[in-house]
Amino acid sequence: MEKIKSILLFLLFGLSLLLTYQLWYGEMPAQLLEEDVYERLMVEEPRPLENVIMPELIVSSVEGDTYVFKKGENGYESLWEELSFTLQQLSFYEAVEEAMPPADSNKVLTYYLQPELPVGEGLPWLGNAIYAELEMIELYTDNANKWLVLSEAGNNHKTNLLLSSDKAKRFNQLFDEALFENKARHTRLTNENIAMLSGYDLEISGSIYVPQESIYLDEVILKPEDLDHDLILKTFFIDYNMARIIEEKDGGLIYTDGEKGLRLTEFGLEYSSPRKETGSATVTYPEALFNSSSLISYHGGWPEDLRLDELSLSGWGRTIHYNAEWCMYYAGFPILVKQPTKALFNDSGLIYYTRFIFAPDDVIMVGEGQKTAAMWYDALEKAANLFKDQASESENVLHLEEMRLGYVVTNSSGHYRGEPVWRIKISGETFTLQADQLNSVDEEDLL
């Protein structure tokens, strides 16, 4: 009897060890596994509204010369922060003036705001004003005073604000010599100054500024953004156990649960949830701005040099959505990619999202180091010729919609390179020309 008890005790002891081990280290039952996926994710906080919008251009006019400040350039941040801070502090009704700035005052700064800046109640800027969306703000000055002239988007309504002396003084402090050090003078294209391009009837759409003198662009090696694929996956699929994986021939990975799909490649991602397409977008423009910030921060983060370039409402039929588009900037020049970083969203959530971000890899100089960009009139003439060559029907008047220097991303000998280019858009057609030689760059070769 004692022997049986000993054997039984030994077996029970062994079994208890085995069960304890299994409970501690063994596989989880399916139900527990399902519950475990709802983990807390550590993602970037969305930017506050004050940091969502930045001007497209800041143009300064000093003693007859025009200088342009763009994202990533020295002086851009301080000029914008000063205006943003002033608008946050300003009491609208105390500052508003009926009269325009006097005729002998000078316009010293122009802020081009794309996307538009929302101001008014409940917003960081001019919190006690009536709601408006501003597309341009100008700073005028004379010997005694400074005025801000606010231009609303979609109408010609302008509002004048007189700055108090202390606020005016803060702007004065920005205009030191260092602000314009190594800055190239620019000119604003007008129908008159492009009339010299004989044989073409060109009209300017919008405000286009081009360098008046030679511009040197670094040729840089770029690196694609290093995304945490595991974290990205979790931000799109609450229960990623439900998502299945498709390995593409080019090395890309697609995750899908049959309703939405996420494609991860070595240099970006693409997401779509087609069922959400049919839906409305009822949130206000400021809410949409904040939502765009939340989306990009949650799904990969918002890098410092990435600027929100566009936020617009678009759609067709019952499909209405906001379209947000971002672009990376290096030293004031956009890094243009074939598939921009872009989000379409409506009240149902995120419909479509692409994210392809390249940043300079410690600004490694290659080759000669810098390229001298061809002058704007040569680049424009080349683009107009290309337009004429490929146009099926001759148009009487061509519209110059965009003209800027930037980088396109190419992949050669295992490196991603930032190739300096002129990007010119004429009557809906975009032309990409090598900045120095003005050879046409084949869009198919770009990333």
Cβ(240)–Cβ(52) below 8 Å: no
Closest approach of Cβ 30 to another protein, in Å?
5
Q: For another protein, which is the closer residue by CB, 30 or 42?
A: 30
**Angle between helical axes of 76-89 and 165-174 (0-180°, round to 10):** 170
Q: For another protein, which is the closer residue by CB, 23 or 42?
A: 23
Closest approach of Cβ 279 to another protein, in Å?
17
Closest approach of Cβ 237 to another protein, in Å?
10
Q: For another protein, which is the closer residue by CB, 263 or 399?
A: 263
Cβ(435)–Cβ(405) below 8 Å: yes
Is the backbone peptide bond immediately before 124 cis, with ω within 30 degrees of 0?
no
Closest approach of Cβ 271 to another protein, in Å?
16
Closest approach of Cβ 274 to another protein, in Å?
10
To the nearest 10°, report the CA torsion of 357, 361, 363, 364: -130
Angle at 442 between CA 437 and CA 444, to 5 degrees: 155
Which residues bind to another protein, rule: CB under 8 A?
Answer: 1-2, 5-6, 8-9, 12-13, 15-16, 19-20, 22-23, 26-27, 29-34, 241-242, 244-249, 254, 257-259
Q: For another protein, which is the closer residue by CB, 23 or 99?
A: 23
Q: For another protein, which is the closer residue by CB, 19 or 130?
A: 19
Closest approach of Cβ 350 to another protein, in Å?
17
Cβ(126)–Cβ(77) below 8 Å: no
Q: For another protein, which is the closer residue by CB, 29 or 317?
A: 29
Strand order in the sheet with 96-97: 96-97, 158-162, 146-152, 132-141, 106-119, 57-62, 65-69, 185-188, 209-211
